[in-house]
Chains A and B, each alone.
Chain A
Amino acid sequence: MARLKAESRDAAILLSPFFVFLAVFMIYPLIASFYFTLNDLALSDLKPVFIGIANYIELFSDKLFQQALLQTLAYLTFHTAVGVPFGLAIALLFNEEFRGRGFARACLLIPWATPPIVAAMLMYILLNAGFGPVIYGFEMVGLLPTQFTIFGNPNLALLGLAFVSLWKSSPLFAFIFLSGLQNLPSEVVESARVYGASSVAIFRRITFPFLKPVLAVNCILSGILALSGTQAFDIVIGITNGGPGYRTYMLYFLAWNQAFPWNRLGYGSTIAYVVTIIAVVFALVLLKIWYRRK
């Protein structure tokens, strides 16, 4: 009994940093930011004025919030519907034996390993209408008009950001798919081949069903990245700063703007909470679909 007590104490001591970390960096901010959502609060005076759910009600009449919400959902849909299949395609390609595969896989990591704001600046430079070599290259071969602008065009800017995000996220999705493919029993695939199954049939009947759990993980990850991850903030602030107009404002970017530059910490926290709720709902829906099918 005494030893058990001693072991419990030791465990508690060993676990305490985790508990402290959890309390200070997760639980406290969650509670504090929820408290902020119920108050009119600014960084400039830090005197909260309790206003109940007024911040939440304001969301319904805030045109910018509604625009940002729609843009975020469009961004999320594109990010998931295009990014995840693209990651799967890369994974299937890199799962094949070919010369230099190790090197190619290492290169694949580069976009993901690049810090998000650096990736944003890199893409801003590469795709800039004035000095971007990629745009210039397309202009040289006559595929684009002179000084073609992606990020300055209200109809293209959000799509441009989504492609940048895709460039950054797809390798991660691919690696997660690859880890799934590595666990695919080779004898099953070989047996199918022996019985004359085509590659498409093998993919449809064996590979894809096997990858479904990984697919669910990737979809959830994609959603969270697009909603509240680095893709939703760094890429926006690094490339368009929300413009032109408000065309690339997304919820996370709007939450940050409200809380800090616009000095409305309470309202910014409210938007951040809405982002969190959407992310949780998105994950739950995906999981539900997945478990129902299972």
Chain B
Amino acid sequence: MTDDISTGKMKNLSEQKGTDRRRFLKYGAGVVVVAAAAAAGYYALQPAPGPPTPTTTAATTLPPTTTAPPPVTTAAPITLNFYTTGHMGFMYDVGRLGWKPIERWNAAHPNIKVKTFIDSFFDVYTKEATTFAAGTYAWDVAYEWGGILNEFAHYWTPLDEMGITLDPKVVDDIVPYARNAVFWKGHYYGLPRMLEIFTLMANADILDAKGVKFPTTYEEFLQACEKVNDPKNGVYAFEVGLKQGYLFPPYLCFLHGNGGSLWKDDAQQTVVPDSKESIRAVEDMVHLFKNYMPPSAIEKIAFVEASTDWYNGQMVFGLFYGWPTMVVTDPTSKIKRVYNWLWPGKKGVVRSGSQVACEGYGIPKTAKYKKEAWDFIQYLASREVQVQDTLGMFWKQENEEPIPSFWSYLTDDRFKAYPYNIIVRAQLAALKYKANRYERPAYMSYIPAIEAEVSNALTGAKKPADAMKDARESCDKILEKEYSTYGGGYYDPWPDMQKYASRIDDLINAIPVEDQYKFPF
């Protein structure tokens, strides 16, 4: 072009520009077509999901208690991609006590390096859903819970497809609520790694100073709230975060405490947030919020953002998983003693009702190293890892550790020292009562629909009955679509849980505790 100008061919420049532009576009379009064809060819040539990894394992039992996983050698070094959540530091080697499960695994398996990927619990669902839908390899072992397994089951590898059958003893040892994390329509997709259940915690010093007994019914709980509530001095009777995003779990406690259930026992397992028990539950929540809770609770997520108030002694009762009890081991805390026992139900209706969280690990269909992934999952589900996980519990978010998901681990001798024992005992006791989380395929749609309306009731935007009627309307639309896609038959762990009532009693009685921490079942 410079030559053209220097030789005085300026008049042709615009014509040439027009020609060039057309050619550029032509060539450019050609490049795009070639790139698109190449991409299409690449995807067309991608192998279909591979056949099940051959394995000789006919039945599997969990590894025995060891301080380190058994050494394994493989032919060539591999990297096992492990996807887990940020709320349990133990699982990515930042546990309070310095017990590092991943580092131990890597040391014992020189040819299998575990590479950990971490996301906030609140981002896991979307990340897994989009990754699975993309069909690309990302992880060999991934975080699994009922909410995502139910909806995305065909993106996970059922164990039987790998030729693995769980030993009946192992199956019997899994707490049924925890089974929900890895079990869908008759198939296991992994092993549970933890269990947590809401219980009522109380600042024992304040209760004792005011002569208030730990409540055993909801009515007693309200009376206790009345006696200990002291907002003028910055002490509120009760607190739990009420912000949308984690409002559903406390709602379930109030629902169960009123003897209610979120599902009907019909073919569709219809979600009924407008049942009389549910409306009463929301009325109870509103009453507590207006009278005994800090106004800021509406802006706080779960217990995590209320935990500073707990640590500072600015709340007397708290409803959450057991780990905030560990605040007593922090010398800087203003709470020196904590009572931890059942969230009380309505008098004459039910002794207690709670809600349970359970998580596990599974193998995505796109995993590269399924056999090694299964070995690693068994390691994570082993007694040593689960017990160490519980022992690493603390009151801060990064050490939000749970209790084991296997019955036989729950009476491990190492739990006997205070305060672990009162946490384990309380959570065991709560397992005797209904604590369903109602995980099902459209779970992630039901939750915001219900939470938004509970929030509307809490802020006074709607009356509880109207709000829950609107929640039902939203849920009905979700249900229609869900049933047409998945056909019902979702696992309800509650009937199975009731079979273990006497075993729970035995386990509780096997855990020693000082008399002051003993409360009626």
Contact = CB atoms under 8 A, between A and B. Distances in A.
Interface string A252-294: 0000010011110000000000000000000000000000000
B295 A152 contact: yes
Contacts of B459: 152-154, 244-245
Contact of B243 (A15, A147, A241): A241
Contacts of B462: 245
A9 interface: yes
A291 to B, nearest CB: 27
A262 B452 contact: no
A22 to B, nearest CB: 8
Interface residues of B, number: 57
B455 A260 contact: no
Nearest to B298: A152
Most chain-B Cβ atoms within 10 A of its Cβ — which of A8, A15, A244, A246?
A: A244
Interface string B307-327: 011000000000000000000
Contacts of A154: 456, 459-461
B24 interface: yes
Interface string A15-41: 110111001100000000000000000
Contact of A262 (B19, B444, B455, B460): B444
Contacts of B154: 45
B243 A245 contact: no
B72 interface: no
A43 B28 contact: no
Contact of A8 (B24, B151, B456): B24
Contact of A130 (B245, B299, B448, B453): B299
Contact of A129 (B1, B133, B244, B296): B296
A20 B31 contact: yes
B59 interface: no
Q: What band does the interface of chain A fall in when counting residues whose beta carbon is under 8 Å from B? A: 35 or more
A16 B456 CA distance: 53
Contact of A245 (B26, B126, B295, B456): B456
Contacts of B458: 244
A129 B129 CA distance: 34
Contact of B296 (A42, A43, A149): A149
Nearest to A257: B448
Contacts of A3: 3
B330 interface: no
A200 interface: no
Contacts of A44: 129, 133, 151-152, 155, 441
A130 B126 CA distance: 29
Given A43-B133, A245-B453, A245-B459, A260 B126 contact: yes
B456 A263 contact: no
Shortest beta-carbon contacts, A-B, top 8 = A12-B27, A130-B296, A152-B298, A129-B296, A243-B244, A245-B456, A16-B31, A8-B23
Given A19-B29, A148-B295, 5 more contacts: A8-B27, A20-B35, A44-B133, A44-B152, A243-B455
